[in-house]
Amino acid sequence: MSSPNARLSTPAPIPTTGSNDQPSRSVGKIIAVAIALIAAVHFALFGYFLFRTAITSPISDMFTYIADYLRFRAGEASWLDYLWQAHGEHHLVWIRLLTWADVEIFRTRGIPFLAAATAAITATAALIWWQLRRAEPRLGGTPYLSLLAPMLILSSANVTDCSVPINTTYPLTVFFLILALVLFAGGPVSHTNPPYRRVVGILAAFCASLATATGLLAWPILVWIAWRERLPAAWPAALAGLGLIYILFYAHNLNFLGLAPALDKDVASFLSPAHLGKLLDYFFAFLGLPLTRSPHLALIGRGMGAALFLAGLSAVIVATFTRRLSTPLDRIAIGMILLAFGAAALATVGRSDLIDEVKVPVRYTLFATSLHVGLLCLLLPRATRYFTSSRGHLLLCSAGLMFAVLLLIQQVAVGRSAVQIASAISHEADCFAQGAHPGPVSEVVSRAPQGAQQVLTALREQGLLAPRASDCTHL
């Protein structure tokens, strides 16, 4: 029986046959072109759904961001205090800067948030695609399979992380963290990465935590990479020390609102079988996003989340305790898998007890996508080296085509649902911003409507709120 390590190692190529395989090559090229066309449609749909789901009026936490900025604008806080002001468990420095640009330059239209998040998620997709292209042998039509990675990232399940300002923290976090992985581990071959790239990678790790506290996961991941690359002991020691000091500094005076329900539990209640079962359910539901958000696919999504967790865990174990999975792309892929696991664990501990039911927000899908893309980066280069014959290429391209079709179907289905939900929220938010909403607003727009109305009034008085075009007569 083969060992788990053997299954993840690079197998010997299948020997080619002496038969005439020209028809297989031709069909493979046709399939490769079909994958490229599907990817183009997929990316175009992402742009379409980005436009259709855009919410340009303030909702939810945006009122808090704007209120904080107005206090700074009135001279009640210094620039540094404003930027570093805690928001729950996070220091949202990038959000503070985007809020400044949105209010002062665009008169609270949300455009800087949309632009920054779209640039971040597009750059993330490009980074991963380029790393795959560098690692993947250019054999026949298989290079087109590298488009599957950006298709996973530029999914309509992730589109509202760009089009809804309060969600834009997540693309920024993931971009800087993956940039840190690429710079720190992404040399042409192992042990050839120049030190200056690693230093810039450390700076990117700092930047990740300025989007959300989840970016702090960069530090243990970079320590793991430095250890597995057998860098001089000064590297992992310096990273561990610097990361620990920074995390303690970051956590000073934070308000851990999400942890309050968990901290209120006694040890027996927290470790009870029912509560541990709920935590495990939430963890797998997180990794099974976006399927777990659909009532009809929730069980399948949880099953996929559990299966992906086992696959990712196997890869992490192999990469940690053996010399397999040791290329720069492998290190980046394992880093993405660890990011997904860490984000799922943080959300499980910090969010699962906020409500009774297990309901993971769809905005976390981008973190779960890191697991999917990480596994793809491990499997695809090995698959192209395994299936070296023309028939093997045909089989591989056919599997890629089926996967691309499934992603396109998901793109349309999830995108249509997102448009329907976002359109209703956007219309209500526009009317609320104009002061034309006839009754109480939903909690999605604001849980504290009186305070939100005060923010809107202040924006109008200072000429910082652009008029909205929504027709509010049919509310």
For 401-420, the pLDDT digits (tens) are 999 999 999 999 999 999 99
In whole angstroms, give the CA distance from residue 57 to residue 367. Answer: 26
Task: Output the six-digit token pair for 93.
Answer: 């420095």
Least confident among 34-48, 50-64, 294-308, 461-475: 461-475
pLDDT (average), residues 194-205 = 91
Task: Output the six-digit token pair for 235.
Answer: 């590297």
> 192 or 149: whose pLDDT is higher?
149
The amino acid occupying position 473 is T
pLDDT for 343 beyond 50:
yes
pLDDT (average), residues 51-63 = 94
pLDDT per position as a tens digit, 234-263: 999 999 999 999 999 999 888 777 666 666
> 265 or 90: whose pLDDT is higher?
90
pLDDT (average), residues 124-130 = 95
pLDDT (average), residues 423-431 = 91
pLDDT score recorded for residue 373: 96
* Residue 16 confidence class, pLDDT cut points 50, 70, 90: very low
pTM equals 0.90
Cis amide leading into 290 (omega within 30):
yes
pLDDT for 5 beyond 60:
no
pLDDT (average), residues 133-146 = 67
> 383 or 343: whose pLDDT is higher?
343
Task: Output the six-digit token pair for 200.
Answer: 């810039």
Q: Return the sign of the alpha-carbon dihedral for residues 338, 339, 344, 345.
A: positive
* Residue 25 confidence class, pLDDT cut points 50, 70, 90: low
Least confident among 256-265, 377-386, 392-401: 256-265
pLDDT score recorded for residue 354: 64
> 101 or 189: whose pLDDT is higher?
101
Number of neighbours of residue 241 by Cβ within 10 angstroms: 11
Contact 260, 253 (CB under 8 A): no
Q: For the chain, what are the domain ranges? A: 49-461
Q: Which residues contact 161 (CB under 8 A, 6 or more apart)?
A: 117, 121, 167, 168, 170, 171, 363, 365, 366
* Residue 108 confidence class, pLDDT cut points 50, 70, 90: very high
Question: What integer best gives the mean pLDDT of the chain?
Answer: 87
Rounded alpha-carbon distances, angstroms, from residue 316 to 92, 159, 391: 30, 29, 32
pLDDT score recorded for residue 140: 44
The torsion of the CA quartet 373, 279, 216, 234, rounded to 10 degrees, works out to -90
pLDDT score recorded for residue 45: 97
